[in-house]
C-alpha cells in the first residue's frame, strides 16, 4: 500500500517532489496553536494500517520539534504501521562533544528523542564529525543522502576552471569527494573558531591556483562567519571573487548579506532548507532513500545517489 506523507515543514516544493517521486499519498493535517501557545494537531487522512511519513527540515528546530513528536505519537495511536521522518536538514549535530565544563552532548540527547518517536529517519549530509555515523547516536534505521554528486555536477556545468576550497578540516570529507567527482584541485584551510561569531582562517599555498575560480564548499552556512573569513583570506591572496556552495543554507542573522558584502559572486545551496540560493535539487535522492527504507516503489523521475 502507498505510504501517506505529511508536510510539517515550510518547503512545499520539496514536499511535493518527494511525494511524487515516492509515489506517496498526500496526507491532510490540521495544525494550529491554542491561545495558550500549545499545539493542536488533527490528522484528517485516515492512517490506520498505513505507513506515515512526516517531512520537516530541522533548521530553527526548537520551534518545530515538539509538534513533530506529538504528531508521531498521535499517528502511532491512530494505527499507522510505522511513523517515519524525513529531515532534509538534521539539527543538533554540531554539539557532538562537551566543549566546556557544564555542557551536554546535545547531539546524543536529540538523537535519543527522535529515535524514541520515529521508526526510521532519512536526512541529507548531517554534520558528522566526532560521530562517524548516525548509528552511533540513533537507535532507529537511518539513511544519509550524499549531496556530493549533485554538487559536483553543478560545478561541472556552471564553473570553468574551478579550485575547490574547504574552510576547515571538517569540510574535507565533502570537498575531497566533490573535487574528485568534478575533476578539480582542492585545498583545505585551517579554521580557528574563537566564538559564535568569530572565526580565523589560516593560509594554505593558494597562489598556484590564481587563474582558477575559487569555490568555497562547506556543509552548512549558519552565521556565515566561516565563509566570510575564507572569502577575506582569498581577497588578501588576490584570488578571483569566489562562489560559495553549501549543502544546507541555514542563513542565521543576515548571513546572506554578509556573504555578498564580503565579495561572494554567488551563493548556491541544496533545497534542504528553502531559500533563494537553492540551485541543487535533492528531492529525487531523498525519495529514493525513503523508498528503500519503506520498501515502496519509486517513480521513474527518482535516481539513486551514490
| Binding window for ligand R5P (CB under 6 A); candidates: 18-26, 69-77, 167-175, 261-269 | 167-175
R_g (Cα) of the chain, nearest Å: 20
| Binding window for ligand R5P (CB under 6 A); candidates: 2-10, 36-44, 114-122, 162-170 | 162-170
Query: Binding to ligand R5P by residue 221, rule CB under 6 A?
Result: yes
Cβ(68)–Cβ(74) below 8 Å = no
Please, which contacts does 183-190 make with residues 24 or more away whose CB atoms are closer than 8 Å? 183/156, 184/155, 184/215, 185/209, 185/212, 187/163, 189/165, 189/230, 189/233
User: Least distance to ligand R5P from the beta carbon of 152, Å?
Assistant: 18
| Binding window for ligand R5P (CB under 6 A); candidates: 31-39, 85-93, 221-229, 281-289 | 221-229
| Binding window for ligand R5P (CB under 6 A); candidates: 76-84, 164-172, 202-210, 230-238 | 164-172
Query: Binding to ligand R5P by residue 220, rule CB under 6 A?
Result: yes
Query: Binding to ligand R5P by residue 272, rule CB under 6 A?
Result: no
Q: Which of 96, 119, 125, 168 binds ligand R5P (CB under 6 A)?
A: 168
Query: Binding to ligand R5P by residue 117, rule CB under 6 A?
Result: no
Q: Of 95, 94, 142, which Cα lies nearest the Cα of 114?
A: 142
- Residue 257 grid coordinates: 548579506
Q: What is the footprint of ligand R5P within residues 55-74 (CB under 6 A)?
A: none
Other CB atoms within 10 Å distance of the CB of residue 112? 12
Q: Which residue, 76 or 129, is less far from ligand R5P as judged by CB?
A: 129
Cell 527518482 locates to 302
User: Least distance to ligand R5P from the beta carbon of 282, Å?
Assistant: 18
- DSSP result, 16-82: HHHHHHHTPEEP-EEEEE-TTS-EEEEE-S--TTSEEEEE---SSGGGTHHHHHHHHHHHHHTT-SE
User: Least distance to ligand R5P from the beta carbon of 62, Å?
Assistant: 17
Other CB atoms within 10 Å distance of the CB of residue 186? 21
Q: Which residue, 117 or 248, is less far from ligand R5P as judged by CB?
A: 248
Interaxial angle between packed helices 255-262 and 225-236, expressed in degrees from 0 to 180 and rounded to the nearest 10: 0
Query: Binding to ligand R5P by residue 249, rule CB under 6 A?
Result: no
Q: Which of 226, 271, 272, 296 binds ligand R5P (CB under 6 A)?
A: 226
Q: Which of 119, 219, 274, 275 binds ligand R5P (CB under 6 A)?
A: 219
Amino acid at each position: 500500500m502507498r505510504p501517506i506523507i505529511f508536510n510539517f515543514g515550510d518547503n512545499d516544493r520539496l514536499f511535493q517532489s518527494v511525494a511524487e517521486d515516492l509515489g506517496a499519498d498526500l496526507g491532510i493535517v490540521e495544525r494550529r496553536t491554542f491561545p495558550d501557545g500549545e499545539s493542536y494537531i488533527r490528522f484528517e487522512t485516515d492512517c490506520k494500517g498505513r505507513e506515515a511519513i512526516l517531512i520537516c527540515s530541522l533548521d530553527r528546530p526548537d520551534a518545530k520539534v515538539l509538534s513533530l513528536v506529538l504528531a508521531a505519537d498521535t499517528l502511532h495511536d491512530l494505527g499507522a504501521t510505522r511513523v517515519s521522518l524525513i529531515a532534509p536538514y538534521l539539527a543538533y549535530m554540531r554539539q557532538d562533544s562537551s566543549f566546556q565544563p557544564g555542557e551536554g552532548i546535545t547531539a546524543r540527547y536529540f538523537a535519543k528523542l527522535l529515535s524514541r518517536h520515529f521508526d526510521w529517519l532519512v536526512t541529507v549530509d548531517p554534520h558528522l564529525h566526532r560521530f562517524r555515523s548516525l548509528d552511533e547516536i540513533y537507535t532507529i534505521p537511518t539513511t544519509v543522502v550524499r549531496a556530493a554528486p549533485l554538487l559536483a555536477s553543478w560545478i561541472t556545468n556552471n564553473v570553468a576552471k574551478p579550485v575547490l576550497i574547504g574552510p576547515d578540516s571538517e569540510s574535507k570529507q565533502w570537498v575531497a569527494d566533490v573535487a574528485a567527482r568534478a575533476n578539480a584541485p582542492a585545498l583545505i584551510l585551517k579554521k580557528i573558531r574563537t566564538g559564535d561569531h568569530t572565526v580565523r582562517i589560516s593560509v594554505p599555498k593558494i597562489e598556484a591556483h590564481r587563474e582558477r575560480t575559487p569555490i568555497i564548499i562547506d556543509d552548512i552556512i549558519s552565521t556565515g562567519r566561516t565563509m566570510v573569513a575564507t572569502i577575506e583570506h582569498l581577497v588578501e591572496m588576490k584570488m578571483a571573487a569566489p562562489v560559495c556552495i553549501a549543502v544546507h543554507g541555514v542563513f542565521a542573522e543576515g548571513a546572506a548579506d554578509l556573504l555578498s558584502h564580503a565579495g561572494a559572486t554567488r551563493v548556491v545551496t541544496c533545497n534542504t532548507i528553502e531559500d533563494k540560493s537553492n540551485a541543487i535539487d535533492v528531492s529525487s535522492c531523498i525519495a529514493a532513500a525513503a523508498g528503500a527504507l519503506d520498501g515502496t516503489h519509486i517513480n521513474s523521475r527518482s535516481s539513486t545517489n551514490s
